[in-house]
Structure 1
Amino acid sequence: MDSFTDRATEVYRARKPTASPLWQCINSHFDDFLLGYSDKYEHKLGFLRPVIPQTISHFLECGNLEKGFARVRCGDCGHEYLLAFSCRGRWFCPSCHQKKVLLFGEFVTGTVIYPVPHRHYVLAIPKMLRAYFHFNRDLLKALCAEAHASMLDFMRTTLNLPEGVPGMILAIHTFGEYMDFHPHLHALVADGLFTETGLFYVLPPVSLKPLNELFRHRVIAMLKEKGLLPEERARMLLSWKHSGFHVHDSQRIQPSEKADLERIAQYIVRNPFSVEKMTLNPETGAVIYRSKMNPKHQRNFEVFTPTDFIAAITQHIPDKGFQLVRYYGWYSNKSRGLRDKREAILEAQIRPAGLEIIDVSEVQLRRVPSRKWRELIKKIWEVDPLICPRCNGEMKLIALIDERSIIERILRHLGLWQEHEGARAPPPKSVETALIYEPDFSQPFPDYDNYEVLYAE
């Protein structure tokens, strides 16, 4: 029995989704948001994307016992509680997305990246170009491609390795500190180049100015080629000394600093907003969102009307199937698949003098098993959700309940059923119900990982 079972006073307590200020704001004001969208928001945000009402419908049902649950019982004393199904929504539902964040950190550090130095890069574009990406989300894929090509050219030129391969994980962020539309890229990048023979050439200390210029020229050329950027504006952006294109990097992260690598991997796929930063005025519905100091307004908060807040956060929900995380070079799905099928053979080659070279030809990355719901709760809260709060015995999942009649009968017996008047209508039938977003993971959740504890008493 692990150390968690010795913590009798540290019992996992259920979350109550309806107590969240986010749930309350959306439940009370989303219909108003929909009714006023065409007049108030369409000119700024474009047509209402079908994925928005679909995601909201799933979110409002997340953790709702009336939508189904698992029964969890203690084998020693018979104590039982119900474990509500979750929506599994990524990039919006704070609870469900946090599970993906934790899994992604473990997946990246355990299965994808190699034991070589890495850096965290941020690549940003000028404010005047943001609208192009706002109304054409497919351009975000092209932005990633130009970022990868810029990094590839920069590293190959610096190391004089024309056949070198970078290892790069790119995450698309569409949000700023206060949920404004601010498209930029976060990248976890191996600090050098791999060769087919399994050697890694470490990038020496070097200025990022050439990389910044490569990125600027490539993005401008891409927008011109697509007929979006007029020649005059392109020349203007190329002539400005401070053009608004920025490439920033972090300090080098060594392979031994695995906790830092995992933290950065989690950071680059964080949710666009944080419930902890929200304060909801119950009388007016206004939302105060506190974050970093806004240099423009000289304050560390913004006040939103409820519908403005909903508009701000829902604009960052990705369309179905759109991948917000992309893998390039040595870390691409194709490259990883090929390495799984063949043994790396180290061949003799001329090694440039003065460069640090790491042999990774025999590195075997482990497979990260799927994290169970119990283990994720332990990782976050350091308490065990399957330790009985009454006797400290071991609890087990004994049944999955998803039939409406049985759900109602059990909840009525427990006094947990609520009568609803004017229930919210489901999203249109033309909108598919599956939510499949990146990051993709090598192993799926077991079924019981998709539940949240709602009642533990």
Structure 2
Amino acid sequence: MNVLQKIFLDHYEEILYTLHPRNTEVENIDKMINCGVPSFGGAMYACTHCGNLKFVPFRCHSRFCPTCGNKYAMERTTSMSFKLVNVQHRHCVFTIDENLRNFFLQDRSLLNCLFHSVSSVISRMFFKLNRAKHFTPGYIMVLHTFGRDLKWNPHIHCLLSEGGYSDDGFWRHVKHFNYNYLRNAFRTALLNELEDRIGPSFKKVKAQCYTRHKQGFYVHAKPNLCDPNVVAKYIGRYLGRPVIATSRIDRYDGDTVTFHYNRHEDDQYVEETLPVMDFIKRLIRHIPEKHFKMIRYGGLYARHRKMDSKLHRVISKEKHRIYRSFTQWRTCILLSFGYDPLHCPNCNHKMELLELYYNHKRVPLEELYEKAMSKSRGMRSSA
């Protein structure tokens, strides 16, 4: 049991009766707490050479779980990498006025407005390059609702191609982005869409945003080392990470939790201690609604669009099978921790799958081992 599981297990009833979590929050908390519990099933592996047994419990597959969240990030990174065109890309971050954040917390359907606004701004920016040829870029948008301090801070990370593909098969490279246009257009697009959704009561807030942000909302879109050779790693680092890793939790004494982060503004190391319920509240608010898409594709990367044969991808279709193997459990452990989990420690042979257990009743683990041991003997005698 990792430290995050212990925190939530210790305060499970208090969470239900004091925080009144949403249904999707309860579902993900339950999954995370029971992640890796042997009584919920698993796979038994056996070494056919020496008879050594190893039981690997099933995981919860929740993005909220730090363990499964990392695997989910690797899967999404691989999936996104398959779509990328072999051109330079730029990492853009679209942020909002802090006074708008609470609107998205109270009504999570408004988070769709962030995606719509970013998509419309990018499309219009490239349309202005040449209206006749209609240049279309490729972009991937990922919603982050958290900052490094775990506070509610919805913003969009966008991986955008430095150029667009025209209707007549011509690629135009765009090296210089109009930052003033991006900032002002994003502010206008988002505020207009929020006013349409919220109604006349939003007009006062909208006017205040224009007064405070005369240069538009902050958009980071400076050139960076996002070339095709490292773009897959770049995606994994910035676009697919879970809310918090257990390595960032330094201490838990039952009443308080201490965690650390490097402050975004100056990269200063910060250590913060919170009452345990405040820490839990900060975490669970970042659990998205069920079926809400946190990653969306646009332009050349839109799901409905077929890729032109003239465009070359970063990863060819022939290599898809190789890259997909990186998301398998065994390969993930090997890449992350440097050891093969199916390597028998006794005789250095590869362990084979013996049996799967789908048993959600609390059965003593010794019974599973005893049953598997008899099967293992049968495997060795037949070998």
In the superposition, the TM-score normalised over structure 2's length comes to 0.87
Equivalent position of 1:444 in the other structure: none
- 8 Å contact from structure 1 (residues 122, 249) kept in 2: yes
**CA separation of 1:159 and 1:385: change in aligned 2, threshold 3 A:** farther
- 8 Å contact from structure 2 (residues 62, 68) kept in 1: yes
Equivalent position of 1:95 in the other structure: 67
Equivalent position of 2:249 in the other structure: 278
User: How big is each residue's C-alpha offset from its partner over 1:390-436, in whole Å with a ceiling of 9 and x where there is no partner?
Assistant: 1111111110012357x725535769xxxxxxxxxxxxxxxxxxxxx
**CA separation of 1:211 and 1:362: change in aligned 2, threshold 3 A:** closer
Decide which moves more: 120-129 or 130-139: 130-139
Aligned amino acid, residue 349 of structure 2: G
1:292 and 1:186 map into 2 onto residues whose CA distance is 19
- SS of residue matched to 1:128: helix
Equivalent position of 2:220 in the other structure: 248
**CA separation of 1:77 and 1:35: change in aligned 2, threshold 3 A:** same
- SS of residue matched to 2:26: helix
Tell me the CA shift for residue 139 of structure 1. Answer: 1.2
User: How big is each residue's C-alpha offset from its partner over 1:4-53, in whole Å with a ceiling of 9 and x where there is no partner?
Assistant: xxxxxxxxxxxxxx1x2111111101211222225xxxxxxxxx310111
Equivalent position of 1:36 in the other structure: 18
Equivalent position of 2:380 in the other structure: none
2:294 and 2:160 map into 1 onto residues whose CA distance is 16
Paired residue for 2:184, among 187, 195, 213? 213
| Residue 181 (1) aligns with residue 152 (2) | yes
Aligned amino acid, residue 183 of structure 2: N
Percent pairwise identity: 24
- SS of residue matched to 2:320: coil
Tell me the CA shift for residue 158 of structure 1. Answer: 3.7
Paired residue for 1:360, among 311, 318, 332? 311
Equivalent position of 1:147 in the other structure: 118
**CA separation of 1:410 and 1:232: change in aligned 2, threshold 3 A:** closer
2:122 and 2:368 map into 1 onto residues whose CA distance is 62
Equivalent position of 2:358 in the other structure: 402
- 8 Å contact from structure 1 (residues 272, 313) kept in 2: yes
- 8 Å contact from structure 1 (residues 130, 183) kept in 2: yes
User: How big is each residue's C-alpha offset from its partner over 1:81-134, in whole Å with a ceiling of 9 and x where there is no partner?
Assistant: 1010110111x101111111112222222x100001100010000001111111
2:216 and 2:246 map into 1 onto residues whose CA distance is 30
| Residue 105 (1) aligns with residue 77 (2) | yes
Tell me the CA shift for residue 285 of structure 1. Answer: 2.8
| Residue 23 (1) aligns with residue 5 (2) | yes
Gaps of 5+ in 1: 1-17, 39-47, 345-358, 416-457
| Residue 334 (1) aligns with residue 332 (2) | no
Paired residue for 2:36, among 49, 63, 82? 63
Q: How does 1:278-317 map to 2 (within 5 A)?
A: 278-282=249-253, 284-293=254-263, 300-317=270-287
Equivalent position of 1:138 in the other structure: 109
Q: How does 1:426-445 map to 2 (within 5 A)?
A: none
**CA separation of 1:306 and 1:243: change in aligned 2, threshold 3 A:** farther
1:205 and 1:244 map into 2 onto residues whose CA distance is 19
1:333 and 1:103 map into 2 onto residues whose CA distance is 17
- 8 Å contact from structure 2 (residues 38, 365) kept in 1: no
1:148 and 1:270 map into 2 onto residues whose CA distance is 22
- Greater helix fraction, Structure 1 or Structure 2: 2
- 8 Å contact from structure 2 (residues 184, 215) kept in 1: no
Equivalent position of 2:46 in the other structure: 73
User: How big is each residue's C-alpha offset from its partner over 1:340-376, in whole Å with a ceiling of 9 and x where there is no partner?
Assistant: xxx64xxxxxxxxxxxxxx627998416234321111
Gaps of 5+ in 2: 371-383
- SS of residue matched to 1:287: strand
- 8 Å contact from structure 2 (residues 140, 301) kept in 1: yes
2:70 and 2:80 map into 1 onto residues whose CA distance is 15
- 8 Å contact from structure 1 (residues 122, 187) kept in 2: yes
1:252 and 1:281 map into 2 onto residues whose CA distance is 38
- 8 Å contact from structure 2 (residues 45, 355) kept in 1: yes
Tell me the CA shift for residue 273 of structure 1. Answer: 1.5
In the superposition, the TM-score normalised over structure 1's length comes to 0.73
- 8 Å contact from structure 2 (residues 78, 232) kept in 1: no
**CA separation of 1:166 and 1:49: change in aligned 2, threshold 3 A:** same
| Residue 320 (1) aligns with residue 290 (2) | yes
User: How big is each residue's C-alpha offset from its partner over 1:172-191, in whole Å with a ceiling of 9 and x where there is no partner?
Assistant: 01111111110000011111
User: How big is each residue's C-alpha offset from its partner over 1:176-221, in whole Å with a ceiling of 9 and x where there is no partner?
Assistant: 1111110000011111111234432110324411111110111111
- SS of residue matched to 1:333: coil
**CA separation of 1:243 and 1:50: change in aligned 2, threshold 3 A:** farther
Tell me the CA shift for residue 269 of structure 1. Answer: 1.5
| Residue 195 (1) aligns with residue 195 (2) | no
1:120 and 1:99 map into 2 onto residues whose CA distance is 22
1:172 and 1:138 map into 2 onto residues whose CA distance is 13
User: How big is each residue's C-alpha offset from its partner over 1:295-335, in whole Å with a ceiling of 9 and x where there is no partner?
Assistant: 79x97122111111111100001111000000001001101
Tell me the CA shift for residue 233 of structure 1. Answer: 3.1
Equivalent position of 2:377 in the other structure: none
Tell me the CA shift for residue 159 of structure 1. Answer: 5.2
